[in-house]
Amino acid sequence: MAHATRPAPRFATWLIEGADSPTDRAVSNPASLGYGADLVGFGGGQPAVETYPIEALERAYASAIREAGRQVLPYGATQGLPALRELICARLAPRGIRAEPENVAILTGSIQGLHLVGRITLDRGDTIITEAPTFMGALAAWEQQQPRYVSVPVDEHGLVVDHLREALRDDQTGVKFLYLLPTFQNPSGVSLTRERRHQLLEVVREHDLLVIEDDPYGEFWFDDGSEPIPPLRALPGSEDHVLYVGTFSKILAPGIRLAYIVGPRQIIDALLRAKRGVDFHTDTLLQEAVVRLLHDDAFDLEAHVQAGRELYRARRDAMLDSLEATFDSETKWTQPGGGFFLWMDLPHAVSGEAVATAGLQLGVSVLPGYLFYANLDGGRNGLRMSFSNTPPERIREGVARLKQAVDTVRA
Ligand SMILES: Cc1ncc(COP(=O)(O)O)c(C=O)c1O
């Protein structure tokens, strides 16, 4: 029997503008391109796989489901388990953040928090201020609202506050929020100095700005002796302006998708209304398991984080030493005091994108710098390099391959 020809489905018209056109920022995963086991991966932002507390998580999940399954497997509260919110407040206190459990919302990853803040604050085309460079995952979180970005440069002391003042003076449209990574920034590894934190808060209060402080790396400081710099949210007077986003992704494992946001009650309420329409609540079995993990006498989270600091410090040192031994003074890089990343500036005429492409052929992945510029208007000769998930001897091999990639591009 002959079938009548049906009209083609209207895929394109069903989608909102922009939904089917990948941005210039969409990066392919090198593993999916067939680069396998021998690839030295400086491209991702993964914690070291050997740090995942597998046995402790196994115990925590087993006891959560056995002993609390009937309490945590029904639909739960959007804000998250009170016991977890209390533990989060207790962990934030030593870093100077005073918060009550009612000011905390549990998230399915911090990216969700960034997305939800966008949902409750942004109309299409609204203005966001970001650092330049900034975390590209955040830009993906707000893509649907097609915001206008104003970028403020970062130097070795973090965001340049004078430039922020100028940007605010010149802005005619009204800024919805400032998105900031003050501590061991992704992608540059630099931190905002104490002095600039105070100056920044002054500007924020003067302009009555909302700030998102994204802090996944703040606990991984390397330099003993120097007191870690308190988060922006720890400064007196910040509570009404700063939404603080933290995550378990880097201190436990990113695949568990567990994070939190701390903020004024009114904003948390609005965010929870938006979250109800996204996933209703974050996996409660996971929340219960993490509560149990944090109470497990055989697992000490603070010792676990301290071991992470030592591991990542050794990897940072291996990367800095290898770069020093391999590249000449035409190439510059940051000296991160913590976190997972450093930023490299290649000689002016050398394209980071070309080096990243050549690197893949030679068995090393790095990310080209322009991806981290909100308006794709900078970082052309930059690279983001992650040292977190590569042992020192592989770091040395990766840096040697990177040098070859740069030489290939320059030839
Ligand atoms: C600055 C920054 N924010 C957020 C995230 C994502 O965190 P999560 O796994 O909690 O969504 C990352 C991960 O790389 C990050 O670097």
CA-nearest of 401, 211, 235 to 323 is 401
Query: For residue 29, how far is the Cα from the chain centroid?
Result: 17
Same domain, 306 and 269: no
What atom of ligand 1 comes closest to residue 181's alpha carbon?
1
- Residue 256 CA to ligand 1 center (angstroms) comes to 13
Same domain, 250 and 120: yes
Q: Residue 108: which CATH number?
A: 3.40.640.10
Ligand 1 cavity residues, CB under 6 Å: 45, 109-111, 135, 137, 181, 186, 214, 216, 247, 249, 254, 259
Span 185-238, pLDDT tens digits: 999 999 999 999 999 999 999 999 999 999 999 999 998 656 689 999 999 999
Q: For position 402, what pLDDT does the model report?
A: 98
Same domain, 133 and 178: yes
Instruction: Please give the average per-residue pLDDT across 131-155, as a whole number.
Output: 95
- Residue 201 CA to ligand 1 center (angstroms) comes to 23
Give the Cβ contact number of residue 28 at 10 Å: 8
198 occurs within a structural domain: yes
User: Ligand 1 atom 7: the closest Cα is on which residue?
Assistant: 110
Same domain, 333 and 255: no
- Residue 170 CA to ligand 1 center (angstroms) comes to 31
DSSP state, residue 232: G
The DSSP result for 3-63, as a single string, is PPPPPPP-HHHHSPTTTTS--TT----GGGGT--TT-EE-SS-PPPGGGS-HHHHHHHHHH
- Residue 185 CA to ligand 1 center (angstroms) comes to 11
Query: For residue 227, how far is the Cα from the chain centroid?
Result: 23
Using the predicted structure, report yes or no on whether residue 31 has a pLDDT greater than 80.
Answer: no
Pocket test for ligand 1, best of 214, 217, 290, 367 (most atoms within 8 A of CB): 214
Q: Which tokens sit at 225?
A: 């002796």
Q: Which tokens sit at 106?
A: 């549990």
68 occurs within a structural domain: no
User: Ligand 1 atom 16: the closest Cα is on which residue?
Assistant: 186
Domain of 200 in residue numbering reads as: 77-280
What atom of ligand 1 comes closest to residue 113's alpha carbon?
11
70 occurs within a structural domain: no
Same domain, 230 and 326: no
Using the predicted structure, report yes or no on whether residue 1 has a pLDDT greater than 80.
Answer: no
Angle at alpha carbon of residue 105, lines to 100 and 110, rounded to 5°: 125
Pocket test for ligand 1, best of 110, 372, 384 (most atoms within 8 A of CB): 110
How many domains does the chain contain in total?
2
User: Ligand 1 atom 14: the closest Cα is on which residue?
Assistant: 45
Span 239-292, pLDDT tens digits: 999 999 999 999 999 999 999 999 999 999 999 999 999 999 999 999 999 999
Same domain, 264 and 147: yes
Same domain, 42 and 112: no
Which residue, 247, 280, 313, sits at the end of a domain? 280
Q: Are strands 148-155 and 158-159 parallel, antiparallel or unpaired?
A: antiparallel
Instruction: Please give the average per-residue pLDDT across 305-330, as a whole number.
Output: 97
Burial of 285 (0-12, 13-18, 19+ CB in 10 A): middle
Q: How confident is the model at residue 126 (pLDDT cuts 50, 70, 90)?
A: very high
- Residue 138 CA to ligand 1 center (angstroms) comes to 8
Q: How far apart are the first and last CA of the chain?
A: 64
Q: Which residues pair with 175 in a beta bridge?
A: 127
